[in-house]
Amino acid sequence: MTVENYLAEHSSELEQQRNDVSLTRYTGRFAPSPTGPLHFGSLITAVASYCDAKAQHGKWLVRIEDTDIPRIYPGSESHILRCIDAFQFKPDAEIIFQKDRLELYEAILQQLQQQDLVYACQCTRKMLGSNHIYAGTCRNLGLDFAEQAIRVKVSDQDIYFQDRLQGQQCSNLTQDLGDFVLKRRDGIINYQLAVVVDDYLQGITHVVRGADLLDNTARQIYLGQLLGYPRLNYMHLPLAMNAQGQKLSKQNLAQALDLTQASQLLQAAFTALNQPPITLDTPARMLLQGIQQWDASRIPVGTTLHGCYL
């Protein structure tokens, strides 16, 4: 299917998605990947993105980033949905799931292919070894796109952006990042593509997420630029660490959020974000109070948060 056909077939649905959110005001989002149950680090991101949006009278959307089907951890999608309910977050639109939108990402890939902005790559992980920056081996081979990874061509360009917490950032696309994968050889659409397309289609204006994603931002800005999408505003939050000094993640067995402890966990998240004290009460009222007294300038500076061992 060509992008024109896809867009024509889904035009009213896509139009509706863009109209559901007002583009003239703050629209934020929380976009977890269901690769494990949500943990305290995820809660910090959810709370900060929610309060930052609501304090600016904006909207807040939830998107489940589940294109990487082999990495979905059983039960984690339902844990995410139960968390949204238990912590009493109120998304301003229906929650979307990226695995229902694969045709859309394919259509965008075809558009990039027609513009000669992507190429097929047959390099295996083994061939790439420990090189993190792709050397462009397949760039001019003109390989057939079927059953190969698809990479976007980057240009020798500096991407600058001002992060609200982490300050001025700059990466050179060729030297620091290299041509990056948009679709894997096994057919999985990469996060980089899906996140850029959906932030645009959902009318997102502000991204508040963990500092582990800071390095991806230049790639996403570049891809958005190729697709003609407006630039977003970024705030990358310091990451909650465990007692061993590692960031909380499924890999190091971060504890799943315990829904029976929602108020205590919310209190701890506001404390980690260095917000004024919250009166312990129901999650809905705590969030409301958190929004009223939200002050992003109080969030600790840096990329890690210590002393919140949950």
Q: Which residues bind ligand GLU (CB under 6 A)?
A: 31-33, 65, 195, 209, 213
| Cβ closest to ligand GLU, residue 36 vs residue 290 | 36
Contact present, 47 and 269 (Cβ < 8 Å): yes
Output the CA torsion sign for 145, 184, 61, 290: negative
Backbone angles phi, psi at 126, to 5 degrees: -65, -40
Q: How far is the CB of 64 from ligand GLU (least distance, A)?
A: 9
**Pick 6 or 30: Cβ nearer ligand GLU:** 30
Confirm if 236 and 272 have CB atoms less than 8 A apart: no
CB of residue 264 to ligand GLU, shortest distance in Å:
24
Of 6 and 26, which has the nearer Cβ to ligand GLU?
A: 26
Nearer to ligand GLU, 32 or 224 (CB): 32
- The H helix count followed by the E strand count for the chain is 10, 12
Least distance in Å: CB of 47 to ligand GLU?
14
Asked if residue 207 lies in contact with residue 47, where contact means CB atoms within 8 angstroms, the answer is no
Instruction: Please state the length of the chain.
Output: 310
Q: Decide whether 33 or 111 has the Cβ nearer to ligand GLU.
A: 33
CB–CB of 38/255 below 8 Å?
A: no
Q: Which is nearer to ligand GLU, 54 or 209 (CB)?
A: 209
Closest separation in Å from C-beta 199 to ligand GLU: 8
Q: How far is the CB of 34 from ligand GLU (least distance, A)?
A: 9
Half-sphere exposure of 6 (CA within 13 A, CB side): 14
Residues 6+ apart with CB under 8 A from 16: none
Which amino acid belongs to residue 38? L
Q: Give the start-end residues of each E strand in the chain.
A: 27-30, 59-64, 96-97, 118-121, 149-152, 158-163, 167-172, 180-183, 206-210, 233-237, 239-240, 304-305
Q: How far is the CB of 24 from ligand GLU (least distance, A)?
A: 22
Closest CB 87 distance from ligand GLU, rounded Å: 17
CB-wise, 191 or 270, nearer to ligand GLU? 191
The Cα 190–Cα 197 span in angstroms is 11
CB contact at 8 A, 52 and 296: yes
Cα→Cα distances 144→2, 134, 150, Å = 17, 19, 10
